[in-house]
């Protein structure tokens, strides 16, 4: 006559140290992660009486223009002729794209007008002029 064992042995993974491991990984990633700072051109923005803040930076392409005529689109220095193709490609990739133009206070209006005309040709009609609040 055979007797059945009443004690069942199961192979399992011990989970008692799992929270410790998770917190160590969390702390490790918090210490090691470096957040990217936005690298734009140094500008002195003009002042405005009324400012509306953009909802978020998800659908925004930043265009910087200095008083010397240097133009940067999303941290890449470009010439006036390349604005149309770059922004057209961005609009095709994301139809909700908004162009945020940040120009130095001393920038000539001819440069801003040329940028605006290139944006029109690229069908980038959502344009935001950035300024700082008047104090």
Which residue ranges make up each domain of the chain? 47-133
Res. 59: pLDDT tops 80: yes
What average pLDDT does the chain have? Answer: 81
pLDDT tens sequence across 4-46: 667 777 777 777 788 888 999 999 998 888 876 656 667 666 6
Q: How far is CA 20 from CA 16, 17, 27, 34, in A?
A: 8, 5, 11, 24
Domain 47-133 class, CATH top level? alpha beta
φ, ψ of residue 47 to 5 degrees: the values are -90, 150
Q: What does the pLDDT read at residue 26? A: 93
What is the edge-to-edge ordering of all strands in the sheet holding 71-73?
76-78, 71-73, 60-65, 98-103, 127-129
pLDDT tens sequence across 62-79: 888 888 888 888 888 888
Q: What does the pLDDT read at residue 64? A: 87
pTM summary value: 0.61
């Amino acid at each position: 006559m055979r007797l059945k064992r009443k004690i069942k042995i199961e192979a399992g993974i011990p989970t008692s140290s799992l929270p410790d491991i998770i917190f160590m990984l969390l702390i490790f990633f918090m210490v090691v992660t470096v957040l990217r700072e936005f690298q734009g051109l140094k500008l002195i923005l003009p002042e405005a009486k009324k400012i509306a803040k953009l909802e978020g930076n998800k659908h925004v392409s930043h265009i910087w223009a200095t008083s010397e005529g240097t133009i940067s689109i999303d941290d890449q220095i470009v010439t006036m002729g390349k604005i149309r193709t770059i922004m057209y490609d961005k609009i095709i990739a994301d139809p909700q794209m908004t162009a945020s133009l940040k120009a130095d206070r001393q920038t000539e209006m001819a440069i801003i007008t040329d940028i605006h005309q290139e944006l029109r040709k690229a069908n980038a009609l959502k344009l935001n002029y950035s300024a700082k609040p008047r104090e």
